[in-house]
Amino acid sequence: MLNFIEGGVCAAQGFRAAGIHVGVKTHAAWKKDVALIVSDVDCAAAAVFTKNVVKAAPIHVDKAHLADGKARAIIANSGNANACAPHGEENAEKMCAAAAKAIGCKPEDVLVSSTGVIGQTINVQVIEEGVPALYAALERSNEASDAAAHAIMTTDTVKKEVAVETTVGGHTCRMGGIAKGSGMIHPNMGTMLCFLTTDCAISPEMIKTALLETVGVTFNRISVDGDTSTNDTCCVLANGLAGNETITAKGPDYDAFLEALRALCTALAKKMAADGEGAKHLITCTVSGAADEAAAETVAKSVISSTLTKAAIFGADANWGRVLCAMGYSGAAFDPEKVDVHFASAAGDIAVCEKGRGLDFDEALAKKILTEHDVEIRITMGEGNATCTCWGCDITYDYIKINGDYRT
């Protein structure tokens, strides 16, 4: 029994959060820019990071801090990515040290993340000076999770916050997360900041396994603009306060945990895709009938990443030729003459291509379908039984506007 609940990162027992403005974002004093998430007790912890060769300083620090598979807290800022910047690791360590001092734990038990402009020195002093107020603001409440979710936003237009409840070994376990991600989003791990908390008892090894399994089929299946960021981080803290027998191997308990984690991350990933910079549509591409899951994923990713397909959806134009074109250059092997394509949404479902050839279809209905916010591209490949779903968004004038002048 899996239920979506309120509370975000504060849904699980023993987690508190806060988000305040300290001054990293200089141009908008009303915008929160530092978040803190703290567990009452030590947690098993795991994280996955960007595969970009150019990695932000916090990622190097987090890798070292996670060597023992444990953590207590996460401190994160928006407004500056602390990537390719002078004194990057030194400043990331200072953020951990400031948080550790307030919490009363070791700096090595604090994880750190940053997001924002690349290449400028982070104003670590305002963060250090702000930590006491940040610590004082910690609460276990919906409002506190909301504040933390807002404090990690950059060009995001809505906060991304989800929580679920499930049963593991007869105990109610809760799991919640906040995420940010709007530009520089592309499926190759991470693609964002995402902080997950759970009160489920699970070993460091198994939580790492579960996180890797989940990220591959959730966050790695979204794309906004094909740019894989330098800062992508997804980390999870599990404090064990749910009281279940600690999960130390695969089995029914692990499966229940994994199911909840996947539901949580899928929901956050879709929120991220839907809030792609300037986006007006969430595009879901479902490929079925593929030879294997890898081929299905390759094709679906190519379609949601195609700039021309994204522009067509922006224009509510049922230009399925671009879908076939994107399938064709994806790298997957297939016979185009077996491909069927449908466009669908709450307004209906229309077949536009059968066996690789265009169908005569009702253009007015197609336009109506594609005018909905959530649109679906359904592809049947006729090669086998594998399936995969990926999520993206359209490209709009606003994407260009936002990114033509992001720094100033």
Query: In this complex, which beta carbon is closest to its own copies, that of residue 99 or of residue 215?
Result: 215
Are 390 and 297 within 8 A, CB to CB? yes
- Minimum distance, C-beta of residue 216 to its own copies, in the bound complex (Å): 17
Count the site residues for its own copies by CB under 8 A.
67
The most distant pair of C-alpha atoms in the chain lies apart, rounded to whole Å, by 68
Which member of 42, 89, 205, 227 binds its own copies (CB under 8 A)? 227
Mark 327-346 with x for binding to its own copies (rule: CB under 8 A) and - for no binding.
xxxx-xxx-x----------
Q: Is residue 23 within the footprint of its own copies (CB under 8 A)?
A: no
Q: Would you call 7 helix, strand, or coil by DSSP?
A: coil
Query: In this complex, which beta carbon is closest to its own copies, that of residue 306 or of residue 380?
Result: 306
Interface with its own copies in residues 165-204 (CB under 8 A): 183-184, 186, 188
Query: In this complex, which beta carbon is closest to its own copies, that of residue 214 or of residue 330?
Result: 330
Crossing angle of helices 204-217 and 252-274, rounded to 10°? 40
Which member of 319, 348, 368, 374 binds its own copies (CB under 8 A)? 319
Which member of 298, 306, 345, 380 binds its own copies (CB under 8 A)? 306
Are 218 and 174 within 8 A, CB to CB? no
Q: What is the C-alpha to C-alpha distance for residues 269 and 217, in angstroms, rounded to an integer? A: 10
Q: Is residue 291 within the footprint of its own copies (CB under 8 A)?
A: no
The answer to whether the Cα torsion of 195, 197, 203, 206 is positive or negative is negative
Closest CA to 95 of 63, 129, 128, 64: 128
Which residues neighbour 43 within 8 Å (Cβ) at sequence distance 6 or greater? 70, 71, 72, 237, 238, 239, 240
- Minimum distance, C-beta of residue 340 to its own copies, in the bound complex (Å): 12
Task: Round to the nearest angstrom and report the end-to-end CA distance of the chain.
Answer: 48
146 bridge partner residues: none
Closest CA to 163 of 181, 184, 140, 183: 140
H-type helices in 31-159, by residue range? 57-65, 88-103, 124-136, 142-151
- Minimum distance, C-beta of residue 363 to its own copies, in the bound complex (Å): 8
- Minimum distance, C-beta of residue 389 to its own copies, in the bound complex (Å): 21
191 is annotated as an active-site residue: yes
Which member of 21, 25, 55, 159 binds its own copies (CB under 8 A)? 55
- Minimum distance, C-beta of residue 178 to its own copies, in the bound complex (Å): 23
Residue of 50, 155, 191, 266 marked active site: 191
- Minimum distance, C-beta of residue 377 to its own copies, in the bound complex (Å): 15
Q: Is residue 399 within the footprint of its own copies (CB under 8 A)?
A: yes
Which member of 29, 30, 67, 404 binds its own copies (CB under 8 A)? 404
Which residues neighbour 96 within 8 Å (Cβ) at sequence distance 6 or greater? 61, 65, 75, 107, 108, 110, 111, 112
**Phi, psi (deg, nearest 5) at residue 388:** -160, 145
Active site residues: 191
Contact residues toward its own copies (CB under 8 A) are 50-55, 81, 83-86, 117-121, 183-184, 186, 188, 225-230, 305-308, 311-312, 314-315, 317, 319-322, 324-330, 332-334, 336, 353, 356-358, 395-397, 399-408
